[in-house]
Amino acid sequence: MLKKDKRLKRFLKKLNEPFPESETPKENVVNVLGVGVFITLFLYFFQVGGMNNYNGNAFLMCLGFGIITVVVALTFDFFVVYVLKIKRNEPSWTLKKWMIYMFLLLIFISQANYLFYSYLAGFKNIGWVDFWAMILYTVSVGIFPVVFSGLVVQIKSNQRNQIQAADLQSSFPKKEIHKEVVHLSSDNKNQDFQIPINDIFYIEAMQNYVSVCFFKNGKTQKELLRNTIKNLESQLDSTVLVRCHRSFIVNADLIEKVEGNAQGLRLSLKNLENFEVPVSRKYIPVLKKIIN
């Protein structure tokens, strides 16, 4: 009984921990296409749900269900990200929220499957019983693999990122401090300003602007420049201001602590409280090279 209670507590704790998501739309599309291929092959080779009784081309039928999965998943993802504007790359995006997201996605996929099934049957002898049966079947078949795969992804990502965080942490604190002055340009020339590089905490992309967070007159301040983070990255090449995320450039001299969770690495900076700079997977080698 005690072991079951401990397992339940661990599972409930996992539900409220951050869950990793695809870092780019392209990566997400590739993952969804992979799921569509899996669904097609799984249905074709295992012939579940009485598919072996279908008189038509079995592979085309299974391919249809695979295409439906891809189209519905991408449409639902677009709606969540661009219409509801739910951010899934922040600590607030947990395993529990991901499971709710996947449950709703399964519901929509089952409804689309029902329409496709009705089409194959010529819309004959189709009713509410078949509709609810399709929803129940799709959810019951998909929910357990979803929960299991979600736990595996979260645990593996957490372990990998903690190892990488410990590897980077071993390089801190840095002894060398750079004090040169850098010039940060703006499309609006009146906004150009110079600042000692060691006073800059980080630079964050904000659509057509960048926000420079720095230390001045004993307090943390921010300056908004009309520029892109890509332009500033090229201007700041060969300095300790290094790109670590699609939206962030960080001062490597000021990194004090590196921590990892399932979503990636987080950097704590000297003299900057209550804020952590995220690190994308693709920029970890770049950051490590700069540090070393």
Per DSSP, the three-state class of 184 is: strand
Output the CA torsion sign for 260, 19, 96, 207: positive
**Stronger pLDDT, 11 or 200, i.e. the higher one:** 200
pLDDT in tens, 249-272: 999 889 888 998 888 899 999 989
Flag whether pLDDT at 205 surpasses 90: yes
Domains of the chain: 2-156 (no CATH), 171-291 (2.40.50.1020)
pTM of the model: 0.79
Output the CA torsion sign for 207, 209, 212, 217: negative
Structure tokens at 120: 């194959």
pLDDT at 100: 93
Place of tokens 């690190």: 279
Flag whether pLDDT at 158 surpasses 70: yes
Per the document, the length of the chain is: 292
